[in-house]
Amino acid sequence: MRKFWVASGIGIGVCLTFVALLVVGTYSAAAGLAGGARQGAVGLVKGAVPAVYQPLVERWGNLCPALNPALLAAQLYTESNWKPDALSHADARGIAQFIPETWATYGVDGDGDGDRDIWDPKDAIPSAATYDCQLAKDVAQVPGDRSDNMLAAYNAGPYRVIKAGGVPPISETQGYVKSIRSLEKSFARPVGRVAPAQQAAGAVYFAQKQLGTPYLWGGDGTAADNGRFDCSGLTKAAYESVGIELPRVANDQYNAGSHPSRGELLPGDLVFFSDDLTNSRAIRHVGLYVGGGYMINAPFTGAVIRFDKVDTPDYFGATRVTKDGAEALPERSGSTSKP
């Protein structure tokens, strides 16, 4: 709790033509979406919150008008990556990263078992929502967006928000508010279509140039890797080529933007695969959609970067990457690549 206050190499030329046709055709079919897209949340995207925590987030995320389930999910993901045993260097504890002094005042017995356990998500998630809503009350008279002011109070304290008449001019606080509001979109079920991504075509262009390159576990395409990639290394490099820095791991890349439905996929969308379709943290593979039901991906050891079909039983979902979404992602240490 951060606060100031307490595929194969044969026929590459044909493949490139195939990609070009898919990209042009799919973008043509999607013409006009950018101007008419609208965003909002009426619930959580399926699988974005681990299934074991989703009922708690849905219930307590509606505790007050300044909060919603997607916003609460974004906070919890940022604070702990859904780890109930998370412990920070500042002694912030549990899935909601409460420090003991704050917990003593705001911790609640969310599951009604007679205790308030900082390590138990059934107590910690309700406590996080309760704390958020108390902060929203504290700054209710401050002008501006009530959710922004609530988040600013969470990070810098209510006094600073009241004194500033809104989000205070503190870089950490402003960054915290922006990051959580951006991440909120990655947990929210969109209302209407998701706007196309401007950098998508460049990412596809990069990926298509890698067709036929042998797979390498942990490969980032560097000289030391002989230009080889694994799945998330390829997608990371593709978006890095257009100025967007993605995390290294596939399941973290999932939160880099909003989530179009299968019928709304456009070239450049990241497409994800998992053996557990109820939990985005279990994602094990990612590819780059190119249109027509196909993706470019680095599949597994012994294979090459190639086209594969998206429609498989382990298809999890998709992410339309945005620069703001990628920049909002918390840094994860000690991560390794998914295959």
Question: Which fold would CATH assign to domain 41-190?
Answer: Lysozyme (1.10.530)
CB of 297 within 8 A of CB of 234?
yes
pLDDT in tens, 133-188: 999 999 999 999 999 999 999 999 999 999 999 999 999 999 999 999 999 999 99
Nearest of 229, 224, 208 to residue 338 by alpha carbon: 229
Per DSSP, the three-state class of 188 is strand
Q: Give the span between the Cα atoms of 286 and 232, in whole angstroms.
A: 6
Other C-beta atoms lying within 10 Å of the C-beta of residue 310: 19
Please give the biggest Cα pair distance in the chain.
67
Q: Give the span between the Cα atoms of 174 and 148, in whole angstroms.
A: 9
Nearest of 11, 325, 334, 293 to residue 187 by alpha carbon: 325
Q: Residue 159 carries which side chain, given as an amino acid letter?
A: Y
Helix locations, the chain, DSSP H: 12-29, 33-36, 54-60, 69-80, 100-106, 121-138, 146-156, 158-164, 171-187, 200-209, 231-240, 250-253, 323-328
pLDDT in tens, 247-304: 999 999 999 999 999 999 999 999 999 999 999 999 999 999 999 999 999 999 999 9
pLDDT in tens, 16-64: 444 444 444 444 434 333 333 333 344 899 999 999 999 999 999 999 9
Structure tokens at 164: 């500033």
Report whether pLDDT(88) > 60.
Answer: yes
Decide which of 5 and 97 is more confident.
Answer: 97
| pLDDT score recorded for residue 1 | 55
Q: Does domain 12-38+197-328 have CATH number 3.40.50.720?
A: no
Domain ranges of the chain: 12-38+197-328, 41-190
Other C-beta atoms lying within 10 Å of the C-beta of residue 27: 17
Per DSSP, the three-state class of 105 is helix
